[in-house]
Chain A
Amino acid sequence: MTTETDRETIQQPGPYFGEFGGRFVPESLVAALDELTAEWEAAKADPAFAAELTALHRDYTGRPSIITEVPRFAEHAGGARIILKREDLNHTGSHKINNVLGQALLTKRIGKTRIIAETGAGQHGVATATAAALFGLDCVIYMGEVDTERQALNVARMRLLGAEVIPVTTGSRTLKDAINDAMRDWVTNVETTNYVFGTVAGPHPFPAMVRDLQRIIGDEARAQVLDLTGSLPTAVAACVGGGSNAMGIFTAFIDDPDVALYGYEAAGDGADTPRNAATITKGRPGVLHGARSYMLQDEDGQTLESHSISAGLDYPGVGPEHAWLSDIGRAHYLPITDTQAMSALRLLARTEGIIPAIESAHALAGALDLGRELGPEATILVNLSGRGDKDMTTAGEWFDLIDRDAEQM
C-alpha cells in the first residue's frame, strides 16, 4: 500500500479540468483573479496560515465533525451500511463555513476590508456574514428575491450578524442572478473588496481554492471510516448544486479507484420535465459565470431557469471539476426528484432523529437507491452537508405539518 505522501493523484490543479474550467471573465477582473491565485498559493504553502485555519476549525467551527452510522435508516437501503459525515453539526449549520473561514483569512492577508458573496439557500450567506462579524469586515450578500422569500429566516440571520442583504430582482431572481450581481459589484469595487465565492464553480482560482478549503471533509471522513470499519467505503454519496460539499468529500477518495463516487443532482419535478436543476444529467457544455462546464441552456446558449425545492441546489451550472469527473467516468451523477428528497428527509428524521437540509436529503435519497443496488456488503459514506432548520417552512408545507387554524390566530 502506498503512503499518503507518495500517492500519485489524478486531481488537476486548475485552471483547467480537461476541457472544463478557465477564466471567462471581463478583463477588469483578471488582475484580482491573478492576485487571489498568487495569494492562495502563498497561503497554502505558509504553515502560519494553515495553523490559524486549523485553530479556527477546532475552536470556532467545532471540527473535526463526527461520523454517525445510521442502521435504522439503512434498513431501507437494502441492508447496506450507511455512515453520515456530520457537516450539519458545524457552527452555522453546514459545510459552507469551512470555505468561508479560509477565504476570510485570505481577505485579511490580502489587506482588503470588504467581502461580498452570493447565496442561494442562505447557508453560504450566513457563513460569510458570520466570518465578516468574526474578522470585522464589511459584508454585502446578494440573494435572489425568490430565495429571500423562501429562506426568510436566513435573511434575518445575516442581517442580525451585521451583513447587508441585497435582494436581486433581475433575471430569474435566484442564485445565478445573485452571482451576476456579485460579479458586477466586484468589477466595480475590486480595490477594496474580495469576492468570497461559495462553491467550486466560477473562474479560476475559485474551483480549485474552494475544493482545497472543503477537502477537510473527505480527509477527516476517510480516516474516520477506516477507523470505524477497517476499510474504505464502497461508495461516497453527496448532493451537487455547484458542487462544493461533493468535491470536499470526493477529493480524499479520488485516487482510491475502488471507491465509487456518486453525485446527486436536483431533478425537481423530474429530469424528464423542464422543471429541474440536473445540470450534468440534462445540460451540455457551455460557459457560465466565468468557467466552461455543463449548464442548462437553450439552443442559443441562453441560460435556462432551474427548478428545485432546494434553494441550495437550484442552479443551472455546476463546478468544472465535476464536469470533468463525469466525462472521464471517475464520478457518476444521477438525478433525484423533489419527492424522493423529501421522503428521504422524513425517513432520516423518523428513523434516526436527524433532520437534514433538503439539499443533503438528495444525497440520502441517492444512498437509499445505491444501497439497494450494491447490497448488504456495501458501506456508503454520505455527506450530510447541512441541517434542516432553515427548511422547516418548506417541509411544513410539503408534509402539511403546520396547523393552519393556529397560524391564523
Chain B
Amino acid sequence: MTTSYTSAVRDTIATRRDEASGALIAYLPVGFPDLATSIDAAVALVQNGVDILELGLPYSDPVMDGAVIQAATQQALANGFKLRHAFEAVAEVRRQVDAPVLLMTYWNPVLQYGVDRFADDLATAGGAGLITPDLIPDEGRVWLDASDRAGLDRVFLSAPSSSDERLRRSVELSRGFVYAVSTMGITGARADVDQAARGLVERLRAAGGDSVCVGLGISTAEQVAEVLEYADGAIVGSVFVRALAEGGVAAAAEAAARLAEGTSAR
C-alpha cells in the first residue's frame, strides 16, 4: 500500500464520519430494469442522501446474491446487458453527480475482458474501483497489480468466520474500505442485522482497519443508525432494488431519503 495513494471513497467515508455518523453506500445493478432507468435510479439515490454508489455488474452465476438481486440481474441480462454498459453507466452517473462509484463484480467478466483493460476502462469512465465478492486476496495478484497501476480502489470482503490473519490481509490489501459481511449468508433484507457484525468490526479495528463498512441484510434507517454506531459505513442493496422494481425511480429515491436518516442520528 503506497502512502501517496488517494481514494475518493475513503475520503468520502471519513468526511461523513466527521459531519454525520458515517456513510450510506447503495447498491444497484446496472441495466435493471434497463440501462437508462438504472442510471436515473443511481443518480436519484445520490440526490437523496446516498454517499457512495456500488453499481452491480449482472452475471450469470451470482453465488453471493439472494433472490431479489438474482431476479434483477437475470432480467438485466435478458434485456441485453453487455460489459461495456457498465462503463457507460459509471461515466454517465459521474457526469451527473459527484459521488464516488464502485463496481461490484464477480471475477469471470473481469478476467474475460482482460484485467488491465478493465482497470483502464473503469478509470477512464471515472470509476473508483471494484468490490470483488468471489475474488479473495489469495487469488488476486493480477488485480492487485492492475489496481495499483490504475490507481483504483479494491474492496475485499471479510466474514465473521475469517481468521485474524485473513482479516489483517484484508485490511492491508483493501483500499477505499474493507467490506464486513454482517452475517454468514447472501444478500437480502433481514429483520436483525446479526450481532456478528459488531464483533467482526471490532476484530477488523484490531487488525488496523480504519475504514470499515458493513453490508448484507440492512434494510431500515434504524439498522443503518445501529451499524454506524460501530462502523464507518452501511451498505444497502436489496431494499433499493426492490423499491426500483416495484415503484420505479421515485420509489428508489424515497427509499434512499428514508435510509439516509439513519446516518444523521449521532
Contacts and interface: CB of A to CB of B under 8 A. Distances in A.
Interface of A: 22-28, 30-32, 34, 170-171, 176-177, 180, 183-184, 187-191, 286-290, 297, 299-303
B89 interface: no
Interface stretch (B11-19, B39-47, B108-116, B222-230): B108-116
Interface centre among A28, A177, A297 (most CB of B within 10 A): A28
Interface in B33-72: 59-64, 66, 70
A30 B166 contact: yes
B245 interface: no
A300 B159 contact: no
A31 B83 contact: no
B27 interface: no
B111 A30 contact: no
A247 to B, nearest CB: 22
Nearest to B183: A188
Interface residues of B, number: 39
A30 B162 contact: yes
List the 7 closest A-B pairs by CB distance, nearest first.
A301-B112, A31-B161, A28-B159, A301-B109, A188-B185, A301-B108, A27-B157
Contacts, number: 108
Given A187-B186, A300-B82, A302-B59, A26 B157 contact: yes
7 contacts: A26-B134, A28-B159, A31-B159, A184-B63, A187-B185, A287-B111, A290-B134
B148 to A, nearest CB: 21
Nearest to B161: A31
Interface SS of A by simple majority: mixed
B121 to A, nearest CB: 13
Interface string B133-172: 1111011000000000000000011111111001000100
Interface centre among B61, B66, B113, B156 (most CB of A within 10 A): B61
B134 A300 contact: no
B74 interface: yes
Nearest to A177: B61
A105 to B, nearest CB: 24
A27 B61 contact: no
Contacts of B110: 301
B77 interface: yes
Contacts of B59: 301-302
A182 to B, nearest CB: 9
A177 B63 CA distance: 9
Contacts of A290: 134
Contacts of B82: 300
A184 B135 CA distance: 16
Given A170-B70, A301-B111, A301-B113, A190 B184 contact: yes
Given A170-B74, A180-B63, A187-B64, A30 B136 contact: yes
B181 interface: yes
A286 B184 CA distance: 27
A93 B166 CA distance: 43
A345 to B, nearest CB: 31
A288 B70 CA distance: 17
Given A27-B156, A32-B161, A287 B108 contact: yes
Interface of B: 59-64, 66, 70, 74, 77, 82-83, 107-113, 133-136, 138-139, 156-163, 166, 170, 181, 184-186
A180 B69 CA distance: 14
A34 B138 CA distance: 13
Given A187-B185, A190-B161, A300-B82, A26 B108 contact: no
A187 B185 CA distance: 5
A34 B184 CA distance: 16
B186 A171 contact: no
A187 B63 contact: yes
A2 to B, nearest CB: 36
Nearest to A183: B63
Given A27-B181, A297-B108, A303 B186 contact: no
A176 B63 contact: no
A300 B163 contact: no
Contacts of B77: 302
Contact of B61 (A28, A31, A289): A289
Contacts of B112: 286, 297, 299-301
Nearest to B137: A27
A287 B136 CA distance: 13
Contact of A288 (B61, B113, B159): B61
Contacts of A303: 60-61, 108
Given A23-B139, A170-B74, A287-B108, 5 more contacts: A26-B63, A27-B166, A180-B62, A188-B184, A301-B108
Interface centre among B82, B136, B138 (most CB of A within 10 A): B136
Given A187-B184, A288-B61, A303-B61, A23 B111 contact: no
B108 to A, nearest CB: 4
Contacts of B161: 28, 30-32, 190
A22 B61 contact: no
Contacts of A30: 136, 159, 161-162, 166
A25 B162 contact: no
B162 A24 contact: no
Contacts of A188: 184-186
Contact of A180 (B61, B113, B159, B166): B61
Contacts of B61: 171, 176-177, 180, 288-289, 303
A22 B107 CA distance: 13
A242 B64 CA distance: 22
A234 B156 CA distance: 49
Contacts of B111: 286-287, 301
